[in-house]
Structure 1
Amino acid sequence: MKTILIPVDFSSTSNKALEVGVTIAKRIKAKIVLTHMAGVENGLNKEPNTAEEVVFYSRLIGKKFEEFLDRPFLENVEYDTVLKQHLDFGSMNDFAKEIDASLIVMGSNGAKGMTEILKGSNAEKVVRSSEVPVLVVKDNDINFAPERILYASDFHLETVGAYHRIIEAATMLNARIDFLYINLPGKNFKSTSQMDETLLNFFSEVKHPDPVAAIKTVNRYADHTVEKGVMNYASLSAADVIAIPTHGRTGLSHFFQGSISEDIANHSVVPVLTVKM
């Protein structure tokens, strides 16, 4: 049985992540593991330190979980709850691997302003570090029933592994994939023949049965930045999910260069599936 990991802080965004996670679990007959990290929810400013604090905190979180999970849509869904005393969003990957999770589903409000520049949202931190695919959802009225996944990529050979994992995710969700290449102005511009060459090399490398025919399935869209292009095309094509490979940059590399996948996950109202290269 597959396992879906959902980090929760008992907020409305966590509730949205739970709804989406349950929808996926029912589709693929998966188990859900909900984890809460000490001190991340509103109203508690520090992690428990003494034994008495740990006991009090555990009981408090147990009650919060009980209230949070009192929802009719959880009927016939297998789930576990886990309180982690020493876990942060940046190390969520370790716990995901420990429980052999196939997917992390995470709610996000998105970070803005200086917070985004210096720290990023919690969802960004998970996207940055996770080797497990991460589905980021926003607390909005969008009903999660994915039929079309928009896979945006530069189709460089380093994304081959991510491609296969996104294909697996699409199969798991019983959704079809639409491919997207964003053509940029200036030094990054590619002519049609240059794009065709890149795509032919890529589809040959992934062992596509007909690489030449596969080239014709890739939508090409011109914009000033990759993020704008992906977001604009996703809106025009009414994509249900945006899928994108990520480098997972950290430290100064992330600060100065950023990550397109993190920015899209942070700003998109459409659910975003990220897979680390």
Structure 2
Amino acid sequence: MNNASLAIRKVLVPLDFSDPSLQAVQYARRFADPSGAELVLLYVIEPVAYPAELGVVINLDADLAERAMSELEKLRVQHLSDLSARCLVRNGVADAEIVATAKSESADLIVIGTHGFSGLKHFLLGSTAERVVRDAPCPVLTVRHHVTAEKG
């Protein structure tokens, strides 16, 4: 395998605006900066289903897509203005949309934050990052939030 086949031209960064996902942006930047790769920031709006008197109601907040795009753009301008970066908002189940976007965008790498849940919390909530790793069409770097100690 030659180095050309390992070239990173496009990095997909799914965000939920949590600390781990914001830290993932910094890791993605480290991959994109030296190679000139494009960063694609992705936010997925998952439909919320709740029981109603007659069946199930799917609640899609009409303003959420607009607010999410605004937050993504703000992040792009503040932290990635010197790089090639763009923002996407999709609707659907997070892991499926991340994998589908990686395929449609021909991403060479996905950098995704993980909350690092374990035990019962992991069992109940599952792991979007874990499902993305399992189904992704390209390598996935998972970034677990960590706090670095400051030297005093």
Q: TM-score, normalised by structure 2?
A: 0.75
The structure carrying a bigger strand percent of its residues is 2
CA separation of 1:92 and 1:66: change in aligned 2, threshold 3 A: closer
| Structure 2 segments unaligned to the other structure (5+ residues) | 1-7, 50-57
Query: Aligned equivalents of 1:93 and 1:116: distance in 2?
Result: 21
C-alpha deviations, 1:156-189, integer Å up to 9, x for none?
A: xxxxxxxxxxxxxxxxxxxxxxxxxxxxxxxxxx
2:28 aligned partner: 21
Q: 1:125, CA displacement in angstroms?
A: 1.3
1:96 and 2:106 equivalent? no
Give yes or no for the alignment of 1:138 onto 2:144: yes
Give the match's secondary structure for 2:29: helix
Whether 1:37 aligns to 2:44 is yes
SS of corresponding position for 2:137 = coil
Partner of 2:114: 108
Q: SS of 1:63's equivalent?
A: helix
Equivalent position SS for 2:100: helix
Contact 1:91 1:129 survives alignment (8 Å): no
The CA deviation at 1:82 is: 0.6
Which amino acid is the alignment partner of residue 32 of structure 1? L
Q: Compare CA radii of gyration and give the structure with the larger one.
A: 1
Following superposition, the deviation at residue 25 of structure 1 comes to: 0.2
CA deviations 1:232-266 (Å, max 9, x no partner) are xxxxxxxxxxxxxxxxxxxxxxxxxxxxxxxxxxx
**Letter of the 1:126 counterpart:** V
Distance 1:48 1:25 in 2: 36
- CA 1:121–1:28 in 2, change beyond 3 Å: closer, same or farther? same
Name the SS for the 1:67 alignment partner.
helix
**CA, structure 1 residues 75+139, in 2 after alignment: closer, same or farther (shift >3 Å)?**
same
Aligned-partner SS, 1:10: coil
How far 1:48 moved relative to its partner? 4.8
| 1:75 alignment partner in structure 2 | 81
* Identity value in percent: 26
Confirm or deny: 8 A CA contact 2:11 2:111 kept in the other structure.
yes
The ranges of structure 1 where at least 4 consecutive aligned residues each deviate by more than 4 angstroms after the TM superposition are 45-48
Q: Which secondary structure state, in structure 1, belongs to the residue aligned with residue 83 of structure 2?
A: coil
Q: Is the aligned partner of 1:127 residue 2:136?
A: no
Q: Which has the higher helix share?
A: 1
- Amino acid of the structure 2 residue aligned with 1:12: D
Secondary structure of the corresponding residue to residue 23 of structure 2: helix
TM-score, length-scaled by structure 1: 0.43
Residue 26 (structure 2) pairs with residue 9 (structure 1): no
Deviation at 1:117, TM superposition (A): 3.7
